[in-house]
Amino acid sequence: MSRTYPLVSLIGAPTDVGAGHRGARLGPEALRIAGLGEALVARGVDVADRGNLDGPRNPWQKPVAGYRHLAEVVAWNRAVMDAVGAELRIGRLPILLGGDHCLGLGSITAVARYCRDTGKQLRVLWLDAHADFNTSQVTPSGNIHGMPVSCLCGIGPEELTRLGGDAPAMRPDEIRQIGIRSVDPGEKQLIQQHGLDVYDMRYIDEIGMRRVMEEALEGMDENTHLHVSFDVDFLDPSIAPGVGTTVPGGPNYREAQLVMEMIADSGRMGSLDIVELNPILDKRNRTAKLAVDLVESLFGKSTLMCD
Ligand SMILES: [Mn+2]
C-alpha cells in the first residue's frame, strides 16, 4: 500500500515556563537526537526542520494573581502561534516540539484560525493524563501548563484567551480528551459545566481503546482538520518515565500504538504537538525514542506484519 504524506515542518519551542518542573525546555533536542526527523524521512516524508523558536528565559517565580510567568507564557505562545500558522498557510503539517503543554494554546489558536479562514471543521485530540482545564481560581499551582484547554475555550486571562484576536479560539465540542486520570476538584466541576468530551482511563478500561478511538474520531469528514496534542504523560510512566508529572495507570504500549494507528488510518491529521518530554527525568532518552516510535505510527508505520 502506498501513501502520500503531507510536507512536515518541525518547530522547536525549548521552554518550560508553563511547567512545575524544569527540563521540558530540552525536549526538542532530545526528540531530534532520538531521530524524529530521520524516522519521518525514512517513511518518505518531506521534512523541514525549522530549528528552535526563541523566547524569554524561565524566571522560576511564584504565582502572581494565580498565574506563574504569565508574560513569558504569552511571549512563547505568540511565537508558537505565528510559526505554526505560517506553516499551515504554506500547506505544510507543523509538528511542534515542546516544551511544556502551555504551548498547545499557541499551536491550537493558530490551527483554529486556519480552520476558520479555510472553512474547515476542527477536531482536536488531546492525549494527556491531565485535562489541563484549570483556571487561576481553581489551580493549586498557578502553572499555566494546566490551563491551555480552558484558555482555548475562552476561560482565562485576556492575554491568553485572545492570543489570536478572537475569543474563544475554539468550542468545547471540538475537542476530545483521551487518557485522563488526574483532574483537580475545581477543574472537574468546570469540565462538567462546559460539557467536555473526556475519555478517562476508567472508560477506556471498560469499553476498550478501539471503541474509544472510534467515538473520538466519529463525525470527521474530508473537510476536517485533525490536530493531535500529544502530552507524553498520556503514556503509562512504566514505559515513559521522562515527564514531570507522571500519573500511574496510563495506556500501555499496545494501546498507545493503536491510538496512533487509528489516527493515521483516519488520514485527517493536519498538525501535531509533542509536549512535556523532560529529558532530565528520562532514562537514556528512552521516552523520546518511544515518542518517535509512536510518531512513526501516526505517519502510517504499522506494527502489524504486513500492511
Ligand atoms: Mn497536558
3-state secondary structure 199-250: EEHHHHHHHCHHHHHHHHHCCCCCCEEEEEEEEHHHCCCCCCCCECCCCCCC
Is 16 annotated as catalytic? Answer: no
Q: What is the mean pLDDT of residues 175-192?
A: 95
CA dihedral sign of residues 48, 225, 104, 57: positive
Say how many Å lie between the CA of residue 118 and the centre of ligand 1.
28
How far is it, in rounded angstroms, from Cα 89 to Cα 117? 10
Give the confidence band of 305 by pLDDT, cuts at 50, 70, 90. Answer: low
Domains of the chain with CATH codes: 7-298 (3.40.800.10)
Give the CA count within 13 Å in the CB-facing half-sphere of 146: 24
Catalytic residue among 16, 87, 130, 174: 130
Q: Is residue 1 over pLDDT 60?
A: no
Say how many Å lie between the CA of residue 51 and the centre of ligand 1.
23
Say how many Å lie between the CA of residue 119 and the centre of ligand 1.
28
> Please, what's the largest Cα pairwise distance for the chain?
55
Is 276 annotated as catalytic? Answer: yes
Q: Is residue 60 over pLDDT 80?
A: yes
pLDDT tens by residue, 224-254: 999 999 999 999 999 999 999 999 999 999 9
Give the confidence band of 5 by pLDDT, cuts at 50, 70, 90. Answer: confident
Reference 108, options 5, 225, 259, 8; nearest CA is: 225
Say how many Å lie between the CA of residue 143 and the centre of ligand 1.
11
pLDDT tens by residue, 89-127: 999 999 999 999 999 999 999 999 999 999 999 999 999
pLDDT tens by residue, 20-48: 999 999 999 999 999 999 999 999 999 99
pLDDT tens by residue, 138-169: 888 999 999 999 999 999 999 999 999 988 99
Say how many Å lie between the CA of residue 230 and the centre of ligand 1.
8
Say how many Å lie between the CA of residue 132 and the centre of ligand 1.
6
Catalytic residue among 16, 72, 101, 282: 101
Catalytic residue among 145, 255, 273, 293: 145
Give the confidence band of 84 by pLDDT, cuts at 50, 70, 90. Answer: very high
pLDDT tens by residue, 256-283: 999 999 999 999 999 999 999 999 999 9
Say how many Å lie between the CA of residue 176 and the centre of ligand 1.
13
Report the predicted TM-score, pTM, of the whole model to 2 decimal places: 0.97
- Phi, psi for residue 246 in degrees, rounded to 5: -75, 140
Per-residue confidence (pLDDT) for residue 272, from 0 to 100:
98
Catalytic residue among 231, 236, 282, 296: 231
Is 87 annotated as catalytic? Answer: no
**Which residues are close to ligand 1, an ion, with C-beta < 5 A?**
101, 128, 130, 132, 231
